[in-house]
């Protein structure tokens, strides 16, 4: 059971990192007409948003440690902190989504609600997985 939960958290961390990387590329203008080619400019941009990659990096690291040793306290704490950060982020985004439902000037495509529902379900599954890991540790 621990390997299944750790694998799920590993996949979730990798997906979270890819989403952050896509947002970084989108906001950084990499899909524009003149993407930056200078390593100094790219490094400066990465240093400005390093915190975006901290959660996925810790989740992947914690999951790998859990896969290597099921009773590792470090891997469990890393996964716990990352799941907490992901839950707080999703709660904040859900509150913003609910607030924007009442605003007539905000576009409301139906696919957006489907993506949010999937993200909330995945977040709840990650939280349940970490809770299960906690119960197995004690």
Phi, psi of 32 (to 5 degrees): -85, -165
For residue 126, give both structure tokens.
Answer: 């990650």
Q: Whose structure tokens read 């790219």?
A: 42
The pLDDT-based confidence of 72 (bands split at 50, 70, 90) is confident
Average pLDDT, the chain: 83
Whether 126 and 12 have beta carbons less than 8 Å apart is answered as: yes
What is the per-residue pLDDT across 6-18, written as a single tens digit (0 to 9) for each? 889 899 999 988 8
Q: How far apart are CA 61 and CA 75, in angstroms?
A: 7
């Amino acid at each position: 059971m621990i390997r299944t939960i750790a694998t799920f958290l590993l996949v979730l961390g990798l997906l979270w990192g890819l989403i952050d990387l896509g947002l970084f590329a989108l906001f950084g203008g990499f899909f524009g007409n003149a993407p930056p080619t200078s390593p100094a400019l790219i490094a400066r941009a990465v240093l400005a948003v390093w915190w975006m990659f901290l959660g996925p990096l810790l989740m992947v690291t914690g999951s790998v440690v859990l896969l290597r040793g099921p009773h590792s306290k470090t891997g469990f704490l890393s996964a716990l902190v990352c799941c907490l950060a992901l839950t707080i982020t999703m709660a904040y985004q859900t509150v913003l989504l609910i607030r924007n439902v009442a605003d007539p000037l905000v576009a409301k495509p139906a696919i957006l609600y489907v993506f949010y529902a999937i993200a909330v379900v995945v977040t709840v599954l990650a939280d349940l997985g970490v809770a299960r890991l906690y119960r197995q540790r004690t």
